Amino acid sequence: MSVGTLMRVPTSVNSRALRECVVGGRVSVHDVSIEFSGPRGVHRAVEHASLEIEPGEFVCLLGPTGCGKSTLLNSLAGFVRPTSGSVQIDGEEVLHPGPKRGMVFQHHSLFPWKTVRRNVAFGPMMAGLDREQSEERARRFLDLVGLSAFENHYPHMLSGGMQQRVGIARALANYPSVLLMDEPFGALDAQTRAMMQESLLALWSEFGNTVVFVTHDVDEAVFLGGRVIVMSASPGRLIADIRVPLPRPRDPAVLTAPEFIEIKRRCLGLIREETLKAFAQTNG
């Protein structure tokens, strides 16, 4: 199956209309540390993280499990306030969650009691559109992810991949300037994941919004990202910022290109070192 049939890429007329609505956001993470106080004392999840993301960039946060990459993403979303340092989007301090930053979670977080269409229409409704306008927009975004036929289904009737596509459509329907994704394809099987990755790139190239994508999968990070930020084992620090100069649009053939393999080797080396550290931490 090609990308076109999985997520129908809009025609040029549509995409121009979409682009007018979306401007990528500039993300500035300045010396952010995040601590949680738990039963075993204070746990430092993120340590002195600083990061600049240009508007329209696709950045992957790569790190071993439990390194605090999701916590850092949650601070971008406004779910978690940094203990010190600041997170800014377009020069504005992030204090609360808001519709300018769309979030796609690891496990689908669709409202089970709303149909697929109502789920996608939720954001526009909250933005003050009336029901008719919201549902109209929901239909357009469902069409974009190729799920028009399922608009009246409830989430539990869909496969895992379809649920995540609805989740992406729902996040995009607010025209967010930044799309935050927390291992969104982690629970999918390998084939579906590969499809979803290509589809996501196709969508991103249409929207041009900034994407911050958290993953622990090196292939995924290098295939998707224009930049791969590698995080250390807990407490999470940003230890490498690797540019991925592979041309776009990318297709699966790139996975065997020598440049891809070279970057992957670098990432794997870093990740292996950190994973060993993380392993020693939890088992030592």
State the residues that interact with other proteins by CB under 8 A. Answer: 77-79, 96-99, 101-103, 105, 107, 109-114, 122-123, 126-127, 154, 156-157, 170-171, 174
Cis omega (within 30 of 0) for bond into 247 = no
Closest to other proteins by CB, 120 vs 233, is 120
| Comparison of 14 and 109: residue with beta carbon closer to other proteins | 109
Residue placing its CB nearer to other proteins in the complex, 104 or 233 = 104
Instruction: Report in angstroms how near the CB of residue 149 gets to other proteins at its nearest.
Output: 18
DSSP string for the chain: --HHHHSPPPPHHHHHHHHHH--PPPEEEEEEEEEEEETTEEEEEEEEEEEEE-TT-EEEEE--TTSSHHHHHHHHHTSS--SEEEEEETTEE--S--TTEEEE-SS----TTS-HHHHHHHHHHHTT--HHHHHHHHHHHHHHTT-GGGTTS-GGGS-HHHHHHHHHHHHHTT--SEEEEESTTTTS-HHHHHHHHHHHHHHHHHH--EEEEEES-HHHHHHH-SEEEEEPSSSB-EEEEEE----SS--GGGGGSHHHHHHHHHHHHHHHHHHHHHHHHHH-
Cβ nearer to other proteins, comparing 64 with 155: 155
Q: How far is the CB of 174 from other proteins (least distance, A)?
A: 6
- The CB-of-107 to other proteins minimum distance in angstroms stands at 7
Q: Which is nearer to other proteins, 174 or 215 (CB)?
A: 174
Q: Which is nearer to other proteins, 98 or 186 (CB)?
A: 98
User: Whole-angstrom Cα distance, residue 238 to residue 255?
Assistant: 25
Per-residue exposure over 168-207, b if at least 16 CB sit within 10 Å of its own CB, e if not: bbbbbbbbbbbbbbbbbbeebeeebbbbbbbbbbbbbebb
Q: Which is nearer to other proteins, 24 or 78 (CB)?
A: 78
Name the minimum Å distance from CB 138 to other proteins: 12
Distance of closest approach, residue 182 Cβ to other proteins, in angstroms: 10
- Residue number with CB closer to other proteins (148 or 154): 154
CB 156, min distance to other proteins, A: 5
Query: Considering the complex, what minimum distance in angstroms separates the CB of residue 272 from other proteins?
Result: 31
Amino acid at 90: D
Report in angstroms how near the CB of residue 79 gets to other proteins at its nearest.
6
Q: Are 94 and 32 in contact (CB under 8 A)?
A: no
